[in-house]
Homo-oligomer: A and B are copies of this chain.
Amino acid sequence: MIKATPREQIEQLKLGTVDFIAESELLKKIEKSVATGKPLSVKFGADPTRPDLHIGHTVVLNKIRQFQDFGHHVNFLIGDFTAMIGDPTGKNETRPPLSPEEIETNAKTYAAQIFKVLDPEKTTIVYNSHWFSKLSPADFIRLSAQYTVARMLERDDFTKRFQSHTPIAIHEFLYPLCQGYDSVHLKSDVELGGTDQKFNLLVGRELQKAYGQADQQCVITVPILEGIDGVNKMSKSLDNYIAVVDSPKDMFGKTMRVSDQLMMRWYELLTDITPAQLAQLKTDLKEGKKHPRDTKVNLAKFLVKRFHGEAQAQAAEEEFNRMFVDKGLPDEIPLIEVFPTTEPVGICTLMTQVGLTETNSEARRLIQGKAVEMDQVKVQDDKLKLDLKSGMQFILKAGKRKFAKVVVK
């Protein structure tokens, strides 16, 4: 546990956040905590239907870990109550209710991942079905009486849907109230989330007041991390993510592929760099005192070390060097996914398919000119047939500068 004055805690906790509501209140809470020795109750909620964490999630987990390092306690809330309902309209058959067993399995998957960042000794995993199953219909109506339709429609996505006449079912208004009621039940001192959760977190704060709690939770939001494409938010469905459980090799390789600009953003959000160090790094890069590639290697090593340890970080770097640097491969090779084939496919056809050549005859000429390599080995035969099986991957090089990493789905 890090010894720190309330003011020092605040300064550290503020770093990298977007909303910090409200500093004065949190300072008072921390002062009281320091005086009484009673840790703050920090809440973070997760949806048990998607237990695969990517490093975007770790932005908020890092912030929560800071609270733990200062001695505070975390309630990691599994929102299983609504997950057990599934799609309440009954129209979406692809979103069946989760069984208690599935939720338990997902919760365990979560635990395995979050404890790469969080301190298990200072974390309680709680399930909101425990209190919601005890609520009566009358309690539910009382809960929904605490908020108005107009204020709920102020939430960004509701505003947009309402204005564009996209239906909002009434139960969707109940979900933020349920999430807020979790804070009432847990008597949370602080709740954290991404900036997209700001509205919901504030509902919790207001409901605590409506339910007569003297202190309301502070609300802290952190930025949403961009994915490896540098454009969209990191998400599994956009396939621009690094999973917390990705192999050291993948984690290292994917990080090396991000743009220099995104690299700085990741430094800011994913590492423990201080604002002063970050400013210095930017200056050094600008003045050529540091090389972007080395800086990116350091970031990649940092991430692998965090999730897989020091030895793996070292090994990943060495493998990367062996694969790319030592053999003259560029850092960024376009990744091309292809489907497995039932019959072997010709090398020339494949090269054209993955965009290395315009035509099969161009491919043939290059092979005959000894200008094509597969995993650093020269291709000798332009009649070569490849049996593409799921999971295979290799690097094709055509001429001096064209590369493609072929991944068979």
Contact residues of A with B, CB < 8 Å? 81-82, 84-85, 88-90, 132-133, 135-142, 144-150, 152-153, 162, 165, 167-174, 177
- A91, chain B: closest CB distance, angstroms: 9
Tell me if B142 and A169 are in contact (CB < 8 A): no
CA distance A149 to B84 in the complex (A): 23
Q: List 15 A-B contacts (CB under 8 A).
A: A88-B144, A90-B142, A133-B137, A135-B137, A137-B139, A141-B174, A144-B170, A144-B173, A145-B169, A145-B171, A146-B169, A149-B170, A150-B167, A170-B174, A170-B177
Contact among B81, B132, B148, B162 with A149 in the assembled complex (CB-CB below 8 Å): B162
In the complex formed, the residue of B with least CB distance to A151 is B167
CA distance A175 to B151 in the complex (A): 19
CA distance A150 to B167 in the complex (A): 7
Tell me if B168 and A82 are in contact (CB < 8 A): no
Q: Beyond A141-B174, A170-B173, A173-B173: 17 further Cβ-contacts under 8 Å?
A: A85-B138, A88-B141, A89-B145, A90-B142, A137-B139, A144-B171, A145-B171, A147-B170, A148-B168, A148-B169, A148-B170, A149-B149, A149-B167, A149-B168, A150-B167, A152-B170, A170-B174
CA distance A84 to B141 in the complex (A): 11
CA distance A82 to B152 in the complex (A): 23
Tell me if B162 and A147 are in contact (CB < 8 A): no
List chain B residues, Cβ under 8 A from A173: 144, 149, 170, 173
Tell me if B137 and A132 are in contact (CB < 8 A): yes
List chain B residues, Cβ under 8 A from A142: 85, 88, 90, 171
Most B CB contacts (10 A, CB to CB) among A85, A90, A132, A145 go to: A145
List chain B residues, Cβ under 8 A from A169: 144-149
List chain B residues, Cβ under 8 A from A165: 150
Instruction: Give me the 9 closest cross-chain CB pairs, A-B, nearest first.
Output: A88-B145, A145-B171, A144-B171, A144-B170, A149-B168, A88-B142, A148-B167, A89-B145, A141-B171
List chain B residues, Cβ under 8 A from A136: 133, 137
CA distance A82 to B172 in the complex (A): 22
In the complex formed, the residue of B with least CB distance to A134 is B137
CA distance A168 to B149 in the complex (A): 6
Most B CB contacts (10 A, CB to CB) among A137, A153, A162 go to: A137
In the complex formed, the residue of B with least CB distance to A87 is B145
List chain B residues, Cβ under 8 A from A81: 137-138
- A140, chain B: closest CB distance, angstroms: 5
CA distance A149 to B170 in the complex (A): 5
Do A145 and B170 form a contact, CB below 8 Å, given A85-B138, A138-B84?
yes
Do A174 and B144 form a contact, CB below 8 Å, given A149-B168, A150-B167, A165-B150?
yes
CA distance A170 to B168 in the complex (A): 13
